């Protein structure tokens, strides 16, 4: 009998996170003066213990027991062998996927949400603020805050707030407060609303509101939490790849030939890939493929440059692949892949030639998602469909060459709150949005006057 699932026993859950910064040190973030910032300058935004992780060059960092106790509710997550998809494709490849959709919030996001909430609680913080676009991150942070006993305020881009009312209900069920942004709660929000009372909002505005809401707490009991991009966020996600390594060994595989994950800010992808990057640096041959939408081709078409993390230019400058901080991608359904930048750790690995990024249009991705649902049986999030499309392309290549390649990809989340995208796909109402050359050039112009990384 084919066993379609490889479980890692609870007792084997990883007890340490892997920090790629130890093996591939990223360029330092810069302040407004163009000089590396003093980490202490971030203390109003993040608690000290997380700032320490953000700048750490320690290779292994212990996972506190109380965090493990919450993670153990759904971790180790299953590694699945895609027998049904393999049969459907007639491929000699062996396809495995790490299923992060089994978390309470339905994606990989709680891995870091729980850790961030716990560290803030330890630091005496009483509540967190954050922004959310499609709602995955806001849901995960609301979940995590409920588990450790923190308040949670989420600024949700107004157009998404109105289009996806159930995300708000999900946060509310976990005790989170979800506010459409721009709001009247912050100066940033009020300024926008004065100019345009009907502003649909943007991730950039929501970030500004969330940060302002945190730093303006007169009691200093509020901090801000980010769901991707930063080093400590990627660190918390490495349990994915560390578990996958053990599970592949249990399945009798010596190593994957190719590793695939969708990449928006980079945390899901790096969670699976980073523990393997260490092996590649040691000489192992593994193709590592971050996948992005052709509508937002950060890694495949944009330069490695210093840029702001937010639209308003309030964050430190990060060295990363970036389309320019004012870039506004088309409204594809994979809302989590619409970020203009990319995690500095992932960007540095791409620049070093360790990763081979690839981009797909959303039609091909939905086609892959439907094939996957009808074979493997799980309905994926629109973001995850990008990884599936790439895995299927690899499996077809293996069929042509006759090579039994081992493909490992990250199944980052389920699509049960994203069925509107499938509906539009079935109705033939979706299209691809390849980024025109002139739009790209215009968007990159904002980088011209910023410092350049070495």
Query: Would you tell me which residues interact with a copy of itself (CB under 8 A)?
Result: 1-5, 7, 9-10, 65, 68-70, 72-74, 80, 84, 102, 104, 106, 143, 146-147, 165-166, 169-170, 172-175, 369-370, 373-375, 377-379, 416-417, 419-420, 422-423, 426
User: Which residue matches tokens 């969708």?
Assistant: 262
DSSP SS3 for 221: coil
Question: Which of 125, 380 has the CB closer to a copy of itself?
Answer: 380
Question: Which of 60, 166 has the CB closer to a copy of itself?
Answer: 166
Are 436 and 329 contacting, i.e. CB atoms less than 8 angstroms apart?
no
Nearest distance, CB of residue 187 and a copy of itself, angstroms: 29
Question: Which of 176, 266 has the CB closer to a copy of itself?
Answer: 176
Question: Which of 11, 254 has the CB closer to a copy of itself?
Answer: 11
Question: Which of 95, 379 has the CB closer to a copy of itself?
Answer: 379
321 membership: H or E segment, kind and range? strand 317-321
Question: Which of 174, 339 has the CB closer to a copy of itself?
Answer: 174
Question: Which of 84, 314 has the CB closer to a copy of itself?
Answer: 84
List of residues 6+ apart from 391 with CB closer than 8 A = 95, 97, 260, 407, 409
CA distances from 428 to 38, 134, 235, 307, 423 (A): 51, 22, 40, 37, 9
Cα dihedral: 308, 309, 312, 314 (round 10): -80
Nearest distance, CB of residue 105 and a copy of itself, angstroms: 9
Instruction: Compute φ and ψ for 143, nearest 5 degrees.
Output: -55, -50
Q: 3-class secondary structure for 381-429?
A: CHHHHHHHHHHHHHHHHHHHHCCCCEEEEEECEECCCCHHHHHHHHCCC
Nearest distance, CB of residue 414 and a copy of itself, angstroms: 8
**What is the token pair recorded at 133?**
């676009």
Nearest distance, CB of residue 433 and a copy of itself, angstroms: 22
Length reported for the chain: 454
Are 130 and 227 contacting, i.e. CB atoms less than 8 angstroms apart?
yes
Question: Which of 68, 215 has the CB closer to a copy of itself?
Answer: 68
Question: Which of 7, 187 has the CB closer to a copy of itself?
Answer: 7
Query: Per the omega criterion (within 30 degrees of 0), is the bond before 76 cis?
Result: yes
Let me know how many helices (H) and strands (E) the chain has, helices first. Answer: 18, 15
**What is the token pair recorded at 135?**
């709602």
Closest Cα to residue 290, out of 313, 318, 320?
320
Rounded Cα gap, residues 400 and 265, in angstroms = 33
Nearest distance, CB of residue 92 and a copy of itself, angstroms: 20
Question: Which of 2, 454 has the CB closer to a copy of itself?
Answer: 2
Nearest distance, CB of residue 246 and a copy of itself, angstroms: 15
Nearest distance, CB of residue 227 and a copy of itself, angstroms: 18
Question: Which of 70, 446 has the CB closer to a copy of itself?
Answer: 70
Nearest distance, CB of residue 78 and a copy of itself, angstroms: 8
List of residues 6+ apart from 180 with CB closer than 8 A = 156, 157, 158, 161, 162, 201
Nearest distance, CB of residue 422 and a copy of itself, angstroms: 5
List of residues 6+ apart from 358 with CB closer than 8 A = 289, 290, 291, 292, 300, 390
Nearest distance, CB of residue 393 and a copy of itself, angstroms: 21
Nearest distance, CB of residue 170 and a copy of itself, angstroms: 6
């Amino acid at each position: 009998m084919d066993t379609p699932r490889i479980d890692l026993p609870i007792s084997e859950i990883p007890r340490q996170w892997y920090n790629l910064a130890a093996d591939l040190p990223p360029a330092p973030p810069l302040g407004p003066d163009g000089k590396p910032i003093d980490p202490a300058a971030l203390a109003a935004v993040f608690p000290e213990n997380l700032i320490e992780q953000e700048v750490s060059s320690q290779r292994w960092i212990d996972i506190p027991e109380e965090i493990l106790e919450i993670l153990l509710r759904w971790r180790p997550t299953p590694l699945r062998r895609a027998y049904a998809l393999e049969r459907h494709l007639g491929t000699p490849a062996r396809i495995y996927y790490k299923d992060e959709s089994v978390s309470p919030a339905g994606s990989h996001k709680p891995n870091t949400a729980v850790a961030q909430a716990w560290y803030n609680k330890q630091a005496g913080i009483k509540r967190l603020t954050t922004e959310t676009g499609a709602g995955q991150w806001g849901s995960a942070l609301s979940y995590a805050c409920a588990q450790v006993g923190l308040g949670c305020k989420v600024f949700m881009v107004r157009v998404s707030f109105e289009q996806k009312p159930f995300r708000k209900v999900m946060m509310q069920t976990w005790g989170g407060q979800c506010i459409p942004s721009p709001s009247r709660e912050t100066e940033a929000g009020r300024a926008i609303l004065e100019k345009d009372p009907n502003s649909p909002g943007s991730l950039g505005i929501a970030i500004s509101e969330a940060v302002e809401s945190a730093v303006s707490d007169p009691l200093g009991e509020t901090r801000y939490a980010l769901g991707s991009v930063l080093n400590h966020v990627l660190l918390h996600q490495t349990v994915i790849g560390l578990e996958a390594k053990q599970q592949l060994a249990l399945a009798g595989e010596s190593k994957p030939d190719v590793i695939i994950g969708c990449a928006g800010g980079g945390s899901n992808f790096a969670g699976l890939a980073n523990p393997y990057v260490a092996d590649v640096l040691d000489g192992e041959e593994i193709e590592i493929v971050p996948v992005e939408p052709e509508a937002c081709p950060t890694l495949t078409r944009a330069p490695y440059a210093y840029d702001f993390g937010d639209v308003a230019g309030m964050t430190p400058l990060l060295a990363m692949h970036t389309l320019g901080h004012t870039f506004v991608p088309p409204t594809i359904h994979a809302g989590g892949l619409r970020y203009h930048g990319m995690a500095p750790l992932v960007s540095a690995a791409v620049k070093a030639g360790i990763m081979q990024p690839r981009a797909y249009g959303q039609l091909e991705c939905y086609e892959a998602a439907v094939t996957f649902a009808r074979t493997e049986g799980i309905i994926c999030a629109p973001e995850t469909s990008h990884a599936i499309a790439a895995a299927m392309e690899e499996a077809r290549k293996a069929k042509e060459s006759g090579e039994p390649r081992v493909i490992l990809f990250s199944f980052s989340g389920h699509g049960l709150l994203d069925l509107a995208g499938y509906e539009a796909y079935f109705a033939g109402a979706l299209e691809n949005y390849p980024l025109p050359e002139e739009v790209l050039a215009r968007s990159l112009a904002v980088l011209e006057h910023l410092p350049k990384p070495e």
